[in-house]
Structure 1
Amino acid sequence: MSQMCPSCSHDNPDTAHSCSVCGTAMRGLLGENTLLGNRYKVTSVLGCGAMGAVYLADDQRLKGRRCAVKENRLDPSASPDVQSQSRDQFLAEASVLARLDHPGLPKVSDYFIEEGREYLVMDYVEGEDLDSRLLRTNAPLEEASVVDWADQVLDALSYLHNQQPMPIIHRDIKPANLRLDTRNRIKLVDFGLVKLFDANNPHTKVELRGLGTPAYAPLEQFAGSDSHTDARSDIYALGATMYHLLTHVAPPNVHERLLDPKVLTPPSEVNPKISEKVQHIILKAMGIHPTERYQSADEMRKAIAEKSSTAIVAPAAVAAKPAKAKSGFSPMLFGLLALLFVLILGGAAFFLLSDRTGSLPPQQANAAFDPEPTPTEFVPQSLSDAPTGTPTLTPEATEEPTQEPTTEPEETPTDPPTPTPLTSPTATGTAVGVQSGTIPASTLAGTIAYPVFSGNNYDLYFGQADGSGTTLFRKGASQPAFSIDGSRIAFHSWRLDSWGLMTMDLTASDGYLVARFVEDQLPTWSSDGTEIIFFSRREGDRKSRLMKVGSTQIGSNGIVLGEGEYPAVGATGRMAFRGWGATGSGIKTATTNLNDIQSVTNSNDDTAPMLSPAGDRIVFMSRRQGNWDVFIANADGSEAQPLAETEFEEGLPTWSPDGRAIAFVTNRDGGEWGVWAMTPDGNDQQKLFDMEGSPDGFVGASRDASRGWAEERISWKN
């Protein structure tokens, strides 16, 4: 028996209390490859919460179909009433979804009970949710796209709100519950707070696990009043969602607005690109009281479809006092009672949810259990399936990026088992074993590509190995890899207009965006130059997987080889990589199809491997002794030893094309970073040139794509 980690999906023994890979506390989840219902083979964890989990599974009956399997796990310590309510809610959700048929809604295909646990099987929506899109872009989204998505959501809401005999209210619309599929179509997911609205009973029973997300929840959704949620509640949530998507700022919750209406900044003051018409639509949808909003999804759709012909006056709800309620209930008293109730529930919610791991808000994937960030598009395909036409991207050597993120991420990514990022290295100690320049001049020739972090992004430079100068090759790029013949380069592009992996001919300005996900990284060329091997955390479980694409294919999804990180193919055609998950810890070698895997080291502190041109030796960086050092070993793992053993930081080693020298980066020169070289026995260490800055930094795009210098690279060509 086994159980998967709720964070990284690594399969652990059933007796484990924490994950052997990332250290996350176990939650008693299903084991990898568990077969549910004699049909659904569980492959990874999409999300996990206090009341259940959501798994990604392969349908064994319909080959090639992937499903999201939602599990309802009852708390054995809960009262019988709570357990009964949980069962009723889960069955209600299944029943609601099973009878719906709309292109903007996920389709339920199965429901069953196995070993005391309930399971709901639904379509797995390939793509990413809009919360992940915001995190990835780190900027407001385009108005035209947001308006189109809102129109699609309203179409689905109109369908839900007009169900007979009882309309369906979603009650939890937010960016994380809007998933964008591979055709740019929105799917409204997570019906965990769904309510069946009986117009004849204003006190309709609401089966819920929570109150929704405060930034998007309307006032009437909180208890403490004689009001009830209806279609206008979803209108408010959609307006708040549009506000967030277009400003990149979550709106204040409705109780803050009730106490101070001016706390809601008009969206165009946050993002001047927002049109007057769209601002009006957002603010009207976000009216504090239901009567101030659009009264139906169809009415809001009509407002979106209308052309702007006259000046539009923003709704008074932004700055004016709320309108008088229809009942004898004072609006202020209504709000204060609601606020008091929320504060009480807030304490309970904090107690119930305080065991969640991580500090970034979890994302949603067809579920109500707060999964980890959802995957961007992931559809395996053969190399022949992708286009091979004329490239359309035209990067220039000194071209400015279209837009670069201007803020640092709020936290340093810490997801194990990736190498610990280097931050603010200190220049102390004295270099050892340093001799001066007896490496042959013929060896110290050619070009070395290296990354420099500019403060909010990476830039890619070329330096001459003979020390004759450095030049900027491309802004918004890093992780360089020259092809074996030195005629082409692959790199990670951080530009908002071309996120992913690119290949370029060094004699041309055209490039190929061969992998289009920001989580795709560290490309390396096959020995014949026809394929690019890389690793990615693009999947929803955020496992590190080795993948490959054609070197001139545009936007291919690629083929998964297996688990691993930091691939580097040598001149002999064999690949070195860092083991991860199923491939174990340490440095490994294998074929480029991930066959014939051989262990070189077994330490989780080793990374950045590079095979010598002859394939008989391998260099890598390791923090076995505290700081980062450069190590060398025979390809069979024997005679592993440090080379540049100092008290400084040394790493990112690469071989000279003739195999007679090793280049690496270090801050040993008074804390200033530079590219140095040495012989394979560690002697004759000498500086080749100064770098323009540190190779260490974090791009505010994705915590699964930017993890500091230990996931960077330098590359040397003739």
Structure 2
Amino acid sequence: MIQLKMTSGDSGTETTINICCKNICSITRVLISKIAFVSDRDGNGEIYVMNADGSNQTQLTNTDVFVLNNAPAWSPDGQKIAFASTRDGIVNSEIYVMNADGSNPINLTNNSAFDSQPAWSPDGQKIAFVSDRDGVDEIYVMNADGSSPINLTNNSAFDSQPSWSPDGQRIAFVSNRDGIDEIYVMNADGSNPINLTNNSAFDSQPAWSPDGQKIAFVSDRDGIDEIYVMNADGSNPLRLTNNLATDSQPTWSPDGQKIAFASNRDGGLLEIYVMNADGSNPTQLTNTQGLSTQPTWSLFIRP
């Protein structure tokens, strides 16, 4: 048997062709993942996508100046991206969904409140998001078509940054209900909120590992924003980054082997980096004159 491997530089797709007895007996295509992110490299906050190695950076949104498009979130099947945008008014952020190539953006919330920070449920049926429609930032959940929004937190504190567990049973989030930003977890219906970090520092930006065993997060407990990881019950927090820069916005690769994040460690504006899940081997993915931030890794998708 002869085995041929062909790798596409644009997509990162590897096609393996096994040839035996002068016939092609099998063809295997490896699924890939991509990273969506936000950049103002063209003078406006727009959403981009790139391969996991930083190649093929492509602009998806293209809106008027002073419009901010941010907080991209992949659907579990990789076919769509939810995001927040002020395209309907600078003080009126709404949740939109578009195809993964940037086409067909649709307003899901269409509300006079400030709606932001969408997060897809693992089954693709729901989107959690943040809204101040009841007077203070709360976490809501709606159907993926925007219907039936429900307030999950219903608290006088500020609740934000929802992140679904991979099994869809729980949502991690940030709240200042105990006086300072902490990471909590609640059931997907909003019940049983539990403080995981319980620390005098500011803890934020939770991101579940794909196996549901860990949560990466950001904390200034050592004096500056760094990326940490803890067990899903809040135990054993470990610091992954350790430098004088600001490191934030962690997002896991779909195999759990790497974490992408934003950092200004090279002395300029925020850029996107990737490191091993233990914090080793940080590598810069973006390098432009503008800001690059808010990375979000897709699950494995078909190219």
* TM-score of the superposed pair, with normalisation by structure 2: 0.76
Q: Is the 8 A contact 1:674 1:687 kept in 2?
A: yes
Does residue 241 of structure 2 align to residue 644 of structure 1? yes
- CA gap of 1:508–1:479, structure 2 versus 1, over 3 A, is closer
2:275 to 663, 678, 697: 678
Q: Which amino acid counterpart does residue 94 of structure 2 have in structure 1?
A: G
CA drift at 1:625: 2.5
Q: Which amino acid counterpart does residue 714 of structure 1 have in structure 2?
A: P
Distance in 1, matches of 2:290 and 2:81, equals: 22
1:714 to 279, 295, 300: 295
Distance in 1, matches of 2:254 and 2:276, equals: 13
Q: Which blocks of at least 5 consecutive residues in structure 2 are unaligned? A: 1-12, 15-29, 63-67
Distance in 2, matches of 1:570 and 1:487, equals: 20
Q: How many residues align?
A: 258
Q: Which blocks of at least 5 consecutive residues in structure 1 are unaligned? A: 1-440, 696-711
Query: Which residue in the other structure is 1:469 paired with?
Result: 56
1:489 to 81, 96, 103: 81
Q: Which amino acid counterpart does residue 296 of structure 2 have in structure 1?
A: S
Q: Is the 8 A contact 1:463 1:689 kept in 2?
A: no
Query: Which residue in the other structure is 1:546 paired with?
Result: 139
Does residue 194 of structure 2 align to residue 598 of structure 1? yes
CA drift at 1:557: 7.1
> What CA deviation, in whole Å up to 9, does each residue of 1:541-563 have, x standing for no partner?
xx22111111113xx57211114
Equivalent residue of 1:581, what SS?
Answer: coil
CA drift at 1:593: 1.3
**Higher RCO, Cα 8 Å, sep 6+:** 2
* TM-score of the superposed pair, with normalisation by structure 1: 0.34
> What CA deviation, in whole Å up to 9, does each residue of 1:46-73 have, x standing for no partner?
xxxxxxxxxxxxxxxxxxxxxxxxxxxx
Equivalent residue of 1:657, what SS?
Answer: coil
RMSD: 2.8
Distance in 2, matches of 1:495 and 1:466, equals: 31
Q: Which amino acid counterpart does residue 152 of structure 2 have in structure 1?
A: L
Equivalent residue of 2:211, what SS?
Answer: coil
Distance in 2, matches of 1:444 and 1:606, equals: 34
Query: Which residue in the other structure is 2:8 paired with?
Result: none
Query: Which residue in the other structure is 1:501 paired with?
Result: 95
- CA gap of 1:605–1:455, structure 2 versus 1, over 3 A, is farther
Q: Is the 8 A contact 1:452 1:692 kept in 2?
A: no
Query: Which residue in the other structure is 1:580 paired with?
Result: 176
Query: Which residue in the other structure is 2:250 paired with?
Result: 653
Query: Which residue in the other structure is 1:446 paired with?
Result: 33
Equivalent residue of 1:502, what SS?
Answer: strand
> What CA deviation, in whole Å up to 9, does each residue of 1:282-329 have, x standing for no partner?
xxxxxxxxxxxxxxxxxxxxxxxxxxxxxxxxxxxxxxxxxxxxxxxx
CA drift at 1:688: 2.3
- Kindly indicate which of the two structures has a greater share of residues assigned to helix: 1
Query: Which residue in the other structure is 1:514 paired with?
Result: 108
Paired residues for 1:123-272 under 5 Å:
none
Q: Is the 8 A contact 2:93 2:116 kept in 1?
A: no
> What CA deviation, in whole Å up to 9, does each residue of 1:61-101 have, x standing for no partner?
xxxxxxxxxxxxxxxxxxxxxxxxxxxxxxxxxxxxxxxxx
Q: Which amino acid counterpart does residue 106 of structure 2 have in structure 1?
A: Y
CA drift at 1:584: 7.7
Query: Which residue in the other structure is 2:7 paired with?
Result: none
Distance in 2, matches of 1:550 and 1:583, equals: 32
> What CA deviation, in whole Å up to 9, does each residue of 1:380-401 have, x standing for no partner?
xxxxxxxxxxxxxxxxxxxxxx
Q: Which amino acid counterpart does residue 206 of structure 2 have in structure 1?
A: P
Q: Is the 8 A contact 1:514 1:550 kept in 2?
A: no
CA drift at 1:484: 2.1
CA drift at 1:655: 0.3
Q: Is the 8 A contact 1:544 1:580 kept in 2?
A: no
Q: Is the 8 A contact 1:469 1:689 kept in 2?
A: no
2:149 to 551, 558, 562: 558
Equivalent residue of 2:217, what SS?
Answer: strand
CA drift at 1:654: 0.3
